[in-house]
Amino acid sequence: MSNPIKIENLSFSYGTLPVLENASLTIEEKEFVSVVGPNGGGKTTLLKIALGLLEAQSGSVSVFGLPPQIGCKQIGYLPQYANLDSKFPVTALDVVLMGRLGKTRRFGLYSKSDRETAREKLNRVGLSDLHNRPISALSGGQKQRVLIARALVSDPKLLLLDEPTSSLDDYVEQELFDLLQELNDELTIVVVSHDVAYVSKYVQKVICVNRQVHIHPVSAVDENIIHKMYGEHVHAVRHDQEHGHD
């Protein structure tokens, strides 16, 4: 079985501006990984390369052993919902159905089985009574769940979330991570976040992206100290197993 994501010696620049330099990382199956780093550090670029939306100038990228443009079909992607029009005339079910594109028939409306699968996924994320609610009438946390259901409805092997917690309050954020942890039984999960301090208790590995890429296991060794510094749910990060150079 190929790794969900394997990146080796990847470099990317916009014009002459280097964004990623000699980055290498591997994400193993069923891992729960967090990608952190400051804004402008290259997180979004890395994500777009993994999705096949951008092409790296050098280095190799494979998604489930395939080039990203093909492998991305196995990824359930969750964009930042702040970028979407929250007044758009669609219901929760309509949004989830969009995830069936590429699997459903090309012409005409969605099939009955598409609808059944979509309803199933909405129930799975805890929105069983909101199928026909317009998205404009959903809360931030509910919208996020709709997008998760949309990502799940194509039966992906990897769930990739871009800043899923950026506009949620702490309580809703924790509920979201509880859901992700449940989903982690079946899926590999990668969460991108600009918040360096926030490393959830759920994550097994942290990938720091700031032009270079460093990978850290979440270690419980210095937990007590970190708890004193940041409060609960924050684990210590040890800088070993470095890829790229400083």
Partner 1 sequence: MTDFFNALLHHSFLQHALLAGLLVSISSGIVGTYVVTRRITYLAGGIAHCVLGGMGFARYMQTVHDWAFFTPMFGALLAALLAAFIIGVVNLKAEERIDTVISAFWGMGMAAGILFISKTPGYGEDLMAYLFGNILLVTQRDLLLIAGLDLFIAATAFLFHKQFVAVCFDEEFARLRGVNTQLFYFLMLALTALTVVLMVSIVGIVMVIVMLTLPAAIAGRFCRRMGPMMALAAGLCALFTFSGLAISYQPDLPAGATIILLAGIIYLITLTARR
89 binds partner 1 (CB under 8 A): yes
Interactions with partner 1, residue window 11-40 (CB under 8 A): none
84 binds partner 1 (CB under 8 A): yes
Dihedral over alpha carbons 38, 26, 205, 53 (to 10 degrees) = 40
168 binds partner 1 (CB under 8 A): no
126 binds partner 1 (CB under 8 A): no
List the one residue from 42, 46, 94, 226 that touches partner 1 (CB under 8 A): 94
Output the smallest distance, CB 42 to partner 1, in A.
18
Q: Which stretch binds partner 1 (CB under 8 A): 77-85, 166-174, 175-183, 189-197?
A: 77-85
73 binds partner 1 (CB under 8 A): yes
d(C-alpha 244, C-alpha 246), whole Å: 7
Dihedral of alpha carbons 47, 52, 57, 62, sign: positive
**CB nearer partner 1, residue 19 or residue 138:** 138
Burial grade of 30 (CB within 10 A; 0-12, 13-18, 19 or more): middle
Using CB under 8 A, count the residues that bind partner 1: 30
d(C-alpha 243, C-alpha 246), whole Å: 9
List the one residue from 77, 121, 199, 236 that touches partner 1 (CB under 8 A): 77
Find how far residue 148's CA is from the centre of its chain. 10
**CB nearer partner 1, residue 91 or residue 212:** 91
d(C-alpha 82, C-alpha 180), whole Å: 20
Edge to edge, what strands does the sheet with 75-78 contain?
A: 75-78, 158-162, 188-193, 32-36, 205-210, 212-219, 236-237
Q: Which stretch binds partner 1 (CB under 8 A): 103-111, 179-187, 188-196, 233-241?
A: 103-111
Residues in Cβ contact with 3 at an 8 Å cutoff, skipping those fewer than 6 apart: 26, 27, 28, 29, 62, 64, 65
Output the smallest distance, CB 201 to partner 1, in A.
30
**CB nearer partner 1, residue 107 or residue 171:** 107
144 binds partner 1 (CB under 8 A): no
Place of tokens 């699997």: 103
Positions that interact with partner 1 (CB under 8 A): 51-53, 72-73, 75, 77, 79, 84-85, 88-91, 94-95, 97-99, 101-102, 104, 107-110, 134, 136, 150, 154
